[in-house]
Chains A and B, each alone.
Chain A
Amino acid sequence: MGQITLNQITKSFGDVQVIPPLDLQINDGEFVVFVGPSGCGKSTLLRLIAGLEDVTTGEIDIDGTNATEIPPAKRGLAMVFQSYALYPHMSVRKNIAFPLRMAGLDKDAQDAKVEAAAKVLNLTDYLDRRPGQLSGGQRQRVAIGRAIVREPAAFLFDEPLSNLDAALRVNMRLEISELHQSLETTMIYVTHDQVEAMTMADKIVVLQAGVIEQVGSPLELYHTPRNKFVAGFIGSPKMNFMMGEFASEYGATTIGIRPEHLSVSHSEGKWSGRVGVSEHLGSDTFLYVEVDGLSDPVTVRSTGEVGFRHGDTIHLTPDPEKIHRFDNQGLRIA
């Protein structure tokens, strides 16, 4: 079981309130991702759930019990840290066995569980090494192993992949997703990378300045962002925003259109401009178009190769179904 309920929790450091009153429900077995720019309070929120920080007011329930005053060691949660936080003076075996040792398990039971976890994580050959002798990816796996053996109610991940290189990050992302599918345990995952959020999450919680901007599945957030912030944060490349006449035509203060929802033409279209930079990825082409009447270039994503060069005149047409409209508060107009 791993159902976590945050009930009107707040957190202040001195006079500064980093988390205003916040409610959140995390269901058993869910993969929840907290995402937001740095300093948005997502790590603080995770540390509050872990018990490493005390809430200022409010209540945290884990599986129906009030856990607000329970110390981190007794909450039955396991955490994987950004720095891996392995014990440098212990072998991999002892690192993974540490939570079992603390739980008072006998030696044989410890060994069996460590061996099983090592097998799942491909660490069997490294059990007698020290963390210092492992690569970044292996260290991360040891940290995950240490979390698995406890059979926790929920896993907490604090930006676990940000210290890895790009290729390894994609691999580990997949491994963590597979782990979630096989264990079916609740996972709460903090990241600033919206791609990680989109690819891994059942439910994404978008945070800004300690406030939940939106909670929803990746595709809900992509298709119906509740406000301009979520619209701009989710999706890569970023959504284009247009104001003034461009928006008033659609009865909105601001309109947003994703780069993949613009079609291009040499001869005709709704808006015209000139091609600035173009990025050719083979599968896609990203064009940065200077549109007449707009200060920021508009990003366009086209599939495959398109025959545009720097300085060419280009015409853009948005898919009318895919235009997002926002009012003067930045909120979505339904």
Chain B
Amino acid sequence: MARAVTPRRKTINTIAAWAVGLLIFFPILWTILTSFKTEAQAISDPPVFLFFDWTLENYAVVQERSDYMRYLWNSVIIAGGSTLLGIVIGVPAAWSMAFVPSKRTKDILMWMLSTKMLPAVGVLYPIYLLFIKLGLLDTRVGLTLVLMLINLPIIIWMLYTYFKEIPGEILEAARMDGATLKEEILYILTPMAVPGIASTLLLNIILAWNEAFWTLNLTAAKAAPLTAFIASYSSPEGLFYAKLSAASTMAIAPILILGWFSQKQLVRGLTFGAVK
């Protein structure tokens, strides 16, 4: 039986949803607001919400003191590169598991997922030592590789779920209709898989962009991305909340904008297969 949705119930639901949404968004909002305050207002008690002297001074200082563009560029290369590499490896892997499954397919998938259950710090030493040996420490190549590897299970899982949703009969129909394997992939499979690949791409760029453990531990100066840029404003400088907030805002702005414009695609990607 369908559940009756009364107007009152709808109002309550709406309020609850907004409350949860705002609660989650509040830290980001507060960071952005703080970035426009003076250092004194940033730590004033009681805190000021909207009525303060809006200033861009923090941004000017941050810009002057560190090379934002270099960090940004590193982030773009590392997040983008690791995601693209992951997709290139993940597509054939997911493809074969979805369309030519074997007895061990499920086990392999679980094994891949299990690597995500290990705390990253557990493998910090071996990876760090490997990086020293291979001369990858503080290089973009090294970070791209590591981020690709830690996100690969997620990439494969997402793509696998997507490919699984493409009914085998459609591919067989194409075969009956006279399509060769190449034509089948080109005209039928790829167009049907594009939304899935796109949302996997987006989600992994975001994950890689925000990744802070490996990026902080394996970089020093040359390859440091925006996470390191934020971190450089936290401890050594003392508690300069407003400048830290300005740095954070600058670091998350690009990904926030990307996420905003692609939210439809992202939500679809994450809930795909859940409702059928």
Is residue B192 within 8 Å, beta carbon to beta carbon, of the partner chain? yes
Is residue B146 within 8 Å, beta carbon to beta carbon, of the partner chain? no
User: What is the CA–CA distance of A23 and B206 in the complex, to the nearest angstrom?
Assistant: 60
Interface residues of B in 179-201 (CB under 8 A from A): 179-180, 183, 187-188, 191-192
Interface string of A82-121 (1 = CB under 8 A from B): 1101111100000000110011000000000000000000
Docked-complex contact B173 and A85, CB < 8 angstroms: yes
Instruction: Give the residues in chain B near A71, CB-CB below 8 Å.
Output: 175
| Smallest CB gap from A50: residue in B | B176
Docked-complex contact B172 and A81, CB < 8 angstroms: yes
Instruction: Give the residues in chain B near A99, CB-CB below 8 Å.
Output: 177-178
Docked-complex contact A52 and B178, CB < 8 angstroms: no
Docked-complex contact A87 and B188, CB < 8 angstroms: yes
Instruction: Give the residues in chain A near B188, CB-CB below 8 Å.
Output: 87
Is residue B67 within 8 Å, beta carbon to beta carbon, of the partner chain? no
* Minimal beta-carbon separation of B181 from chain A (angstroms): 9
Given contacts A73-B178, A102-B183, A150-B177, contact A83 B169 (CB under 8 A): yes
Docked-complex contact B178 and A85, CB < 8 angstroms: no
Docked-complex contact B167 and A73, CB < 8 angstroms: no
From the candidates A74, A78, A85, A88, name the one contacting B172 in the complex (CB within 8 A): A85
User: What is the CA–CA distance of A334 and B42 in the complex, to the nearest angstrom?
Assistant: 102
User: What is the CA–CA distance of A73 and B184 in the complex, to the nearest angstrom?
Assistant: 11
* Minimal beta-carbon separation of A70 from chain B (angstroms): 12
Docked-complex contact A102 and B191, CB < 8 angstroms: no
The size bracket of the interface on A is: 20 to 34
Is residue B170 within 8 Å, beta carbon to beta carbon, of the partner chain? yes
* Minimal beta-carbon separation of B217 from chain A (angstroms): 44
Docked-complex contact B173 and A102, CB < 8 angstroms: no
Instruction: Give the residues in chain A near B192, CB-CB below 8 Å.
Output: 87-89
* Minimal beta-carbon separation of B168 from chain A (angstroms): 9
Interface centre among B172, B175, B178 (most CB of A within 10 A): B178
Docked-complex contact A73 and B172, CB < 8 angstroms: no
Given contacts A85-B167, A85-B169, A87-B188, contact A98 B177 (CB under 8 A): yes
Docked-complex contact B175 and A72, CB < 8 angstroms: yes
Docked-complex contact B177 and A83, CB < 8 angstroms: no
Docked-complex contact B191 and A89, CB < 8 angstroms: yes
Is residue A62 within 8 Å, beta carbon to beta carbon, of the partner chain? no
Docked-complex contact A87 and B176, CB < 8 angstroms: no
* Minimal beta-carbon separation of A160 from chain B (angstroms): 12
Is residue A77 within 8 Å, beta carbon to beta carbon, of the partner chain? yes
* Minimal beta-carbon separation of A96 from chain B (angstroms): 10
Docked-complex contact B180 and A73, CB < 8 angstroms: yes
| Smallest CB gap from B194: residue in A | A89
User: What is the CA–CA distance of A78 and B177 in the complex, to the nearest angstrom?
Assistant: 7
User: What is the CA–CA distance of A72 and B175 in the complex, to the nearest angstrom?
Assistant: 6
Instruction: Give the residues in chain A near B177, CB-CB below 8 Å.
Output: 73, 78, 98-99, 102, 146, 150
User: What is the CA–CA distance of A74 and B180 in the complex, to the nearest angstrom?
Assistant: 10
* Minimal beta-carbon separation of A208 from chain B (angstroms): 25
Docked-complex contact A52 and B175, CB < 8 angstroms: yes
Docked-complex contact B167 and A83, CB < 8 angstroms: yes
User: What is the CA–CA distance of A103 and B175 in the complex, to the nearest angstrom?
Assistant: 12
* Minimal beta-carbon separation of A35 from chain B (angstroms): 21
Instruction: Give the residues in chain A near B174, CB-CB below 8 Å.
Output: 87, 98
User: What is the CA–CA distance of A285 and B187 in the complex, to the nearest angstrom?
Assistant: 55
* Minimal beta-carbon separation of B118 from chain A (angstroms): 36
Docked-complex contact A73 and B175, CB < 8 angstroms: yes
Is residue A79 within 8 Å, beta carbon to beta carbon, of the partner chain? yes
Instruction: Give the residues in chain B near A79, CB-CB below 8 Å.
Output: 172-173, 176
Instruction: Give the residues in chain A near B172, CB-CB below 8 Å.
Output: 52, 72, 79, 81, 85
B residues lining the A interface (CB < 8 Å): 167, 169-170, 172-180, 183, 187-188, 191-192
| Given A72-B172, A102-B178; 12 other pairs, CB 8 A cutoff | A52-B175, A72-B176, A77-B176, A78-B176, A78-B177, A79-B173, A81-B172, A87-B174, A88-B192, A89-B192, A102-B183, A146-B177
Q: Which 4 A-B pairs have the closest CB atoms?
A: A85-B173, A102-B178, A99-B177, A85-B169
Sample (13) of A-B pairs whose CB atoms are under 8 Å apart: A52-B176, A72-B176, A73-B176, A73-B180, A78-B177, A79-B173, A79-B176, A82-B169, A85-B172, A85-B173, A86-B173, A102-B178, A103-B178
